[in-house]
Structure 1
Amino acid sequence: MLKQLMLSKKIEQRKSSLAELLVTGESLTTRSQELEASINEANTDEEVVTVEEAINKLEDEKRDFDEKKTNLESEITQLESELDQLNSKEPIKNERGNKEMTKEIRNVVGEYFTREVEEFYGELRSRLEARSNGQVLPAGEAGAELVIPDIVVSRIRKRIGDFTTLYPLVDLVKAGGRVKLILDVDTAEATWLDQRGALPENDDSALTAVEFDGFKVGRVVYIDNSLLEDSIINLDDYLTTRIARSIAKAVDKAIAVGGGASVKQPEGIIPAIPVANQVTASPTYAEIIPHLGKIDTGEDASGEIIAVMHRQTYYAKIAALTLNVNSEGKDVVQLPNLAQPNFLGLRVVFSNYVPQDTIIFGVFDKYTLVEREGTRVDMSGHYKFREDQTAVRGVGRYDGKPVMPESFVQVTLVEGA
């Protein structure tokens, strides 16, 4: 504990020195601008010599400034890394208040917070601190993107699944690059032939080829400057949670009701459902069940049929269907399992992007979502001085569309339909 306190004190001292140094840097910038004006105004040889001497002196001071700034930032990063390593080894309190960290938690922390991750957060923190101290970064650096290490990208992608309901259901394809991608979504059967025969060269994949783009989705996250004093562990949790949660909501909404390429979004399931598969029914089993027969996945009969609906639709209209009481007041049908929602055994998934009083039945792996590599964060050019917050933007790229729209049925519940 004493070691941590000493490191924290050293970090505080270096940060204070860095803040003072940045003020000096601003004065150097001002003097540089003044000298530019003096160069234009210098007419005599004597004036030119004077300006030249001033420029040489300023250049020496700039070199000294850059060296001191680099050394301080390097010391701060190194000290913070040491502090984070010590903090990661400190026992944490569990729910019972015991100061014990399990071996599994220690392993996860050790495997995740590699040198690459620590350097990434060290650079991110350095930029945030410069912004919080009021330093205006040069145009070439202020918007420079900071590429997230693969291990952090994987963590964000895993956390996206924690905040979504539709994302885990669809066919996910991960691809690199930013160019358009053409995928063969055909599920036709393979060709039988002699053991020494050659596969036929005729290719009808053009009939089932689907083009996918990589539309950008992003979220500006405001980081309170108090977090700059916190550990990398807490900064990572804050940043990855908010980026993952916001991207997850956007992706889920796009899967359900996305407007397609015309609005730079993935194409949603609901807008693509064929008119023949859009039906109305009374909220009764007898009226709803026959419409499941409209689900058409071609010759491929595999795939789980799932019911997706608004949470309120389930509890207001569907859950009560299994609750029946006879004239003697006895239950004659099994009570609904509210903890594990289902529709006569079919899995029910909630999505509040589906309109109320509407159920989408379908084989959701007939929707293909392309997730591009290269998730990144970059600095915003704005700093919220009043709130002591700095903006960081998280960006991802996705495209998706239902490759077999006839694999979905939209049932709108109407009383007395």
Structure 2
Amino acid sequence: MLRQLMLSKKIEQRKAVLAELMDQENGLNMRSANLEAAIDEAKSEEEIAAVEEEVGKLDTEKTELTEKKTKLEGEIAELEGELEQLNSAAPVNSTRNKSNENERGVAGMNKLQVREMLKTGEYYKRSEVVEFYEQFKNLRAVAGGELTIPEIVVNRIMDIMGDFTTLYPLVDKIQVKGTTRILVDADTTPATWIEQAGALPTGDVGTITNVDFDGFKVGKVTFVDNYLLQDSIINLDAYVTKKIARAIAKALDLAIIKGTGAVGKQPTGIIPNVPAGNQKSVVADANLLKSLVKQIGLIDTGEDSVGEIVAVMKRSTYYNRLVEYSIQVDSNGNVVGKLPNLKNPDLVGLRVVFNNNMDDDKVLFGDFAQYTLVERESITIDSSTHVKFSEDQTAFRGKGRFDGKPVKPAAFALITITPVV
């Protein structure tokens, strides 16, 4: 547990440094835009030489910054991989023999390890992967058969889920078995100074909040042409894992944003639980940007430390309402400010994440580490040959169990942009 806390602290520290480097990068981009305008305006040899010197300095600074970012991102990925491995490692029976270990694969194998194995091709040679897909091909012949996907394939599915989801990578994730209860210390008051031999007041012990998590099932039926079942394991794995990952990812994104909770047999969403005091409206007038950014103060009050605050919105909201604030021009129409980075959009330096489950003209600010998503221990798959028998296709149903809740609803704020009356 102490090792995990230390890793989390190191990750948090490095992400803070990375955020500073991102701010520096924004500054370099602005200087680059200014230099573009200066190049156009330069006339004399002296002016051209001065601009050329500045361009050289800028290129050097950009190179150094890129190297720092690359190194830092590598360190973060390595630390997150180690933390994930510690979180997912299950207790191992010391009496288990070597043959059983080979059958089950490497306990606690994480997504980063699987990613490396894919690069070398080792993934497709592992006995549990080969055995799973052999059973998968034969599953349609077993009436009522259900197949548990091995850990290594589950990690592959979880890894590529990030290609189809925007919120899953942001939230805090834990893996558990059965119904679980997490104790969350919600007290943020400062410690009390006392005599050396004195006793702490009971009020400083902390306010413990019980957060119960269930395991709601999410599933998706996908169809596989029977000829593909006879194809190579590589093609079959790519098709099946992407289908399952895409379906589960989209369901999780919607649940994280708007999930109705136990009544709908799904995780509890953020928006239905945003406190009334954290729900505000701003007018889409000339002061829109200023009014919108001010609402971050609803979360970052200065009374307690917060993690990275992210702005989540629909693409159309960003394009229609906010993208213009990333472009600055002078009186002659020349760009003097930074151009909008549509690949990595931001709002005055705040990271913007697109999610089409958001309503138009709604912006959700939040520290998404304050949302906990519980992943159950297994994903299963079963089949049916009856649904599309005439089309020579077999239906496979991938099923997983998840639950989630915003453990600190006050870490989120929902802002509505209203038109000018």
TM-score, structure 2 normalization: 0.65
- Matching residue of 2:358: 354
**Closer, same or farther: CA 385–399 of 1 in aligned 2, 3 Å:** same
Secondary structure of the corresponding residue to residue 185 of structure 1: strand
- Matching residue of 1:110: 122
Secondary structure of the corresponding residue to residue 337 of structure 1: coil
On the 8 A contact 1:184/1:205 being kept in 2, the answer is no
Rg larger in structure: 1
Distance in 1, matches of 2:146 and 2:202, equals 46
**Closer, same or farther: CA 200–109 of 1 in aligned 2, 3 Å:** farther
Q: 2:391 aligns with which of 382, 387, 391?
A: 387
Q: Letter of the 2:170 partner, please give it.
A: L
CA apart distance, 1:201: 9.3
Distance in 2, matches of 1:412 and 1:317, equals 12
- Matching residue of 1:184: 183
CA apart distance, 1:334: 2.9
- Matching residue of 1:313: 317
The 5 Å alignment of 1:360-375 reads: 360-375=364-379
On the 8 A contact 2:124/2:233 being kept in 1, the answer is no
- Matching residue of 1:158: 159
On the 8 A contact 1:305/1:363 being kept in 2, the answer is yes
CA apart distance, 1:196: 11
Distance in 2, matches of 1:218 and 1:356, equals 28
In the comparison of the two structures, how many residue pairs are matched? 301
The 5 Å alignment of 1:128-167 reads: 128=140, 130=141, 137=142, 142-167=143-168
Distance in 2, matches of 1:201 and 1:291, equals 35
TM-score, structure 1 normalization: 0.66
CA apart distance, 1:229: 2.1
Q: More deviation in 206-215 or 337-346?
A: 206-215
On the 8 A contact 1:266/1:398 being kept in 2, the answer is yes
Deviations along 1:10-41, one digit per CA (max 9) or x if unpaired, are xxxxxxxxxxxxxxxxxxxxxxxxxxxxxxxx
On the 8 A contact 1:173/1:369 being kept in 2, the answer is yes
CA apart distance, 1:416: 2.2
**Closer, same or farther: CA 381–200 of 1 in aligned 2, 3 Å:** farther
Q: Note the residue ranges of structure 2 that are not aligned, 5 or more in a row.
A: 1-115
**Closer, same or farther: CA 298–379 of 1 in aligned 2, 3 Å:** farther
Secondary structure of the corresponding residue to residue 356 of structure 1: coil
Deviations along 1:43-91, one digit per CA (max 9) or x if unpaired, are xxxxxxxxxxxxxxxxxxxxxxxxxxxxxxxxxxxxxxxxxxxxxxxxx
Q: 2:306 aligns with which of 302, 308, 319?
A: 302
Distance in 1, matches of 2:211 and 2:118, equals 45
Q: Letter of the 2:169 partner, please give it.
A: P
Secondary structure of the corresponding residue to residue 236 of structure 2: helix
CA apart distance, 1:202: 9.1
CA apart distance, 1:369: 0.7
- Matching residue of 2:249: 248
Q: Note the residue ranges of structure 1 that are not aligned, 5 or more in a row.
A: 1-103, 131-136
- Matching residue of 1:12: none
- Matching residue of 1:262: 263
Q: Letter of the 2:147 partner, please give it.
A: L
**Closer, same or farther: CA 198–122 of 1 in aligned 2, 3 Å:** farther
Deviations along 1:233-291, one digit per CA (max 9) or x if unpaired, are 11111111100110000001100111111010111111111121111112421221211
The reply to whether residue 209 of structure 1 matches residue 221 of structure 2 is no
Secondary structure of the corresponding residue to residue 419 of structure 2: coil
On the 8 A contact 2:372/2:406 being kept in 1, the answer is yes
Q: Letter of the 2:136 partner, please give it.
A: L
CA apart distance, 1:197: 10
Secondary structure of the corresponding residue to residue 159 of structure 2: helix
The reply to whether residue 280 of structure 1 matches residue 281 of structure 2 is yes
**Closer, same or farther: CA 119–329 of 1 in aligned 2, 3 Å:** closer
- Matching residue of 2:139: 127
- Matching residue of 1:411: 415
- Matching residue of 1:67: none
Q: More deviation in 395-404 or 206-215?
A: 206-215
CA apart distance, 1:204: 6.5
Secondary structure of the corresponding residue to residue 329 of structure 2: coil
**Closer, same or farther: CA 326–296 of 1 in aligned 2, 3 Å:** closer
On the 8 A contact 1:383/1:390 being kept in 2, the answer is yes
On the 8 A contact 1:296/1:406 being kept in 2, the answer is no
The reply to whether residue 334 of structure 1 matches residue 333 of structure 2 is no
Secondary structure of the corresponding residue to residue 121 of structure 2: helix
The 5 Å alignment of 1:51-66 reads: none
- Matching residue of 1:233: 234
Q: Letter of the 1:222 partner, please give it.
A: F
CA apart distance, 1:297: 7.5
Q: More deviation in 164-173 or 107-116?
A: 107-116
On the 8 A contact 2:139/2:145 being kept in 1, the answer is no
CA apart distance, 1:323: 2.4
Q: Letter of the 2:127 partner, please give it.
A: R
On the 8 A contact 2:187/2:208 being kept in 1, the answer is no
Distance in 1, matches of 2:163 and 2:195, equals 48
Q: Letter of the 1:158 partner, please give it.
A: D
Secondary structure of the corresponding residue to residue 416 of structure 2: strand
Distance in 2, matches of 1:306 and 1:294, equals 13
CA apart distance, 1:118: 1.1
The reply to whether residue 397 of structure 1 matches residue 401 of structure 2 is yes
**Closer, same or farther: CA 321–225 of 1 in aligned 2, 3 Å:** same
- Matching residue of 1:77: none
Deviations along 1:165-187, one digit per CA (max 9) or x if unpaired, are 000101111112x33x1101226
- RMSD of the TM alignment (CA)? 2.8
Q: Letter of the 1:295 partner, please give it.
A: I
- Matching residue of 1:51: none
The reply to whether residue 289 of structure 1 matches residue 293 of structure 2 is yes
